[in-house]
Amino acid sequence: MPLGDLPARRQALHERGLACGLKGTVLLAHEGINLFVAGAEAGVREWLAFVRREPLLAALDAKESWSVRQPFRHLRVKVKREIIRMDQPQLQPRSDFAGRAPAVDPGTLKRWLDAGHDDGGRKVLLLDARNGFEVDAGAFTGALDWRLKKFSDFPAALAAHLAELEGFTVVSYCTGGIRCEKAVLAMREAGLDSAYQLDGGILRYFERWLDAPHWQGRCFVFDGRETLGPDLAPRPEPVGPA
């Protein structure tokens, strides 16, 4: 069921967020919600409880990381046509999970990467669904990188590289599990029946393992922290004169 009454929801979420002392960005669309907010722990948890009062958002999965400073300047709640623009309106993840892209949890992915194949013996390919500059900060070892400039470029890149993916188990990943969800729906629609997403994205993988096996570098995030290490901590600020 699509999320409805978006202008009223935007107003309510913004007002409650300000009351809870939060800053960050919240995106609302008929397909769901995506949010990056920061504040005192009590305020964040109070606001998330408010969000989850909506039955369609009751199972909202929030990832947590900690920062000694506020990484956002303002609180913005926006209504958009798509959470992440792909220009493929037929690809709509659904809140009842029946329309979700098939996913593998971090433990399964690590086991497959350790073995070099999935549980059925099929070779695994990792596909990075992020923009090129994000990949440059860090990525899974050996992952395919199509040097996307924006996510709406993904369908054309998929069409150009489709033959290269055939015969493999493809696991797409992104920062938090939003873009790779739609990427896998697009691959499935294109006939790749062995395409999966990394459930929860890179950040959920970091939560599972402090040393992030099979990962190199840091993870770019769209806030003032810029990048996070596998410990989910921002890069330490320099001490002393530059």
Name the residues annotated as catalytic.
174
Q: How many CB atoms lie within 10 A of CB 2?
A: 12
* Secondary structure (3-state) at 36: strand
d(CA 78, CA 183): 23
13's tokens = 């979420």
- HSE-CB of 65 using CA atoms within 13 angstroms: 27
Q: List, in order, residues 6 or more apart from 178 with CB less than 8 Å away.
A: 34, 83, 84, 201
Q: How remote is the C-alpha of 215 from its chain's centroid?
A: 16
